[in-house]
Chain A
């Protein structure tokens, strides 16, 4: 099956701990993204990557870090510096970054719900 997988589905963390969320895609997409979703708010972009070994900050990158060592993988680390990390995290990928009628359609993973205890 082609698609995007995220793991784990639920994650609990104690305050002060770092935690890494996994995102893998087998769609051969160049671009990958991490979003955060809070109740009643639109998705907010944390980080994105257009190509292997390159990534850029989104709107709310503080307290997060990423790596893109492989085309199919884009893990997100939530660090202890993130003051309010409890949220639903969504990973997405697209064929390429940029405008166009359909070339930038983003396909989303199933999400990881992170709860800080």
Chain B
């Protein structure tokens, strides 16, 4: 069964600290993996995308890693800011279907305290 599991479910950190969010998936065949940021009451916004051959991708203070062999990804946030408080969703795209099916994790709710 194609699944995407994220951990932790929620996380609280102090402003300026770093954190790492985890994503494990079983989707096969794999096409790409995206991390989205979703502010409360808003739609998700894409942060990074990685294909099978890529193992790291940065977007400002956000750095995503991918290990396609172990089917694991992480999102590292450096020097956190209050505006980083949001839900971070890992989304995996399958390959070989006409839908290009997306599989969504439940998200990690990050809260940054001053």
Residues of A at the B interface (CB closer than 8 Å) are 4, 40-45, 48, 50, 56, 88, 90, 92, 94, 97-111, 113
Contact assessment for B100 and A110 in the assembled complex, using a CB-CB cutoff below 8 Å: no
A113 CB contacts on chain B under 8 angstroms: 41
What is the number of residues of chain B that contact chain A, defined by CB distance less than 8 Å? 28
Residues of B at the A interface (CB closer than 8 Å) are 4, 9, 31-32, 34, 41-46, 49, 51, 89, 93-100, 102-107
CA distance A87 to B88 in the complex (A): 19
Contact assessment for A111 and B46 in the assembled complex, using a CB-CB cutoff below 8 Å: no
Contact assessment for B32 and A108 in the assembled complex, using a CB-CB cutoff below 8 Å: no
B105 CB contacts on chain A under 8 angstroms: 42
Give B53's nearest chain A residue, CB to CB: A101
Contact assessment for A42 and B51 in the assembled complex, using a CB-CB cutoff below 8 Å: no
A48 CB contacts on chain B under 8 angstroms: 99
Give A44's nearest chain B residue, CB to CB: B104
Main secondary structure of the interface of A (DSSP, over half): loop
Contact of A97 among B42, B94, B98 (CB under 8 A): B98
Q: How far is the CB of B88 from chain A (nearest CB, A)?
A: 12
B46 CB contacts on chain A under 8 angstroms: 105, 107
B99 CB contacts on chain A under 8 angstroms: 48, 56, 97-98
Known interface pairs A99-B94, A108-B45; 6 further A-B residue pairs with C-beta atoms within 8 A, sorted by A's residue number: A99-B95, A101-B49, A105-B34, A106-B102, A109-B43, A111-B41
CA distance A99 to B33 in the complex (A): 12
Could you show 29 A-B contacts with beta carbons less than 8 Å apart? A40-B9, A41-B106, A42-B103, A42-B105, A43-B89, A48-B99, A56-B99, A88-B41, A90-B43, A92-B43, A94-B100, A97-B98, A97-B100, A98-B98, A98-B99, A98-B100, A99-B93, A99-B100, A100-B31, A100-B100, A102-B49, A104-B100, A104-B102, A106-B102, A107-B46, A110-B43, A111-B41, A111-B43, A113-B41
CA distance A56 to B99 in the complex (A): 10
Give A88's nearest chain B residue, CB to CB: B41
Q: How far is the CB of A100 from chain B (nearest CB, A)?
A: 7
